[in-house]
Amino acid sequence: MSKNEERRKEMCELDMEESSNSSTSLCEICMEGKSWGEMFKNKTCSHVFCSDCVRKHVGAKIEEKISMVVCPDVKCKEVLEPEFCQSILPSEVFVRWGDALCESMIVASHRVYCPYEDCSALLVADGEKVKRETECPNCHRLFCVGCKVPWHSDMDCEDFQKLDRDDHLVVDIAKKQKWRRCPSCKFYVERTDGCPHIICRCGFQFCYGCGTAWIDSHGGCAAV
């Protein structure tokens, strides 16, 4: 192709682009006429909708925890690709979409979530044995991987999992009130004042400060 022919082809393409940008098209979602510059065309199908409607469509699916977002056309099953939608999406939605896609590729048995409601970060178990007592790399608080709850330092997993809902409420209250659990019978004890030397109803003697068995040479504990 000669240089003149190449130039004529470029001019023709520019004229077509300008003509397209100046014309309007009907969005079948909002039923409004929009300029071609306001329209979005999926790369894997022929459906065209306005960018605003596609933006809302993707945002709604991400809110519903759906990572594989398909074309808004009810009869179309073609998938929208995040990188092709990035220019019309808020950065927060784009990031959440990418995170959701990454999470969906992780085998369910390898997913571990931080149990603290203000965190809920995703951690990945790589198949090796994971320590029950684990520190969240995001909020740096301890939790139990096996029980999927904040770390229960005063009982093992087997005992904790035997608790019913009401028992769990007691455990939560005990933590907030800083009650000490008897190392022998597991009964909760509340110390209001006085010596940290506790004699439980079961007869076991322990230090309220550190929770260890009481000995004559203990002499109290700085943790009280």
Average pLDDT, whole number, for the chain? 79
Domain 23-104 in CATH 3.30.40.10? The answer is yes
Tens digit of each residue's pLDDT (9 = 90 or more) over 147-191: 778 888 777 888 877 777 677 777 777 778 788 888 888 788 888
Assessment of whether the complete model's pTM goes beyond 0.85: no
Domain ranges of the chain: 23-104, 111-174, 178-224
Residue with tokens 């990454």: 102
Q: Is residue 172 a contact partner of residue 197, using CB atoms and an 8 Å limit?
A: no
Euclidean distance between CA atoms 69 and 157, whole angstroms: 39
Q: Is residue 123 a contact partner of residue 136, using CB atoms and an 8 Å limit?
A: yes
Q: Is residue 49 a contact partner of residue 28, using CB atoms and an 8 Å limit?
A: yes
Q: How many CA atoms lie within 13 A of 10 on its CB side?
A: 7
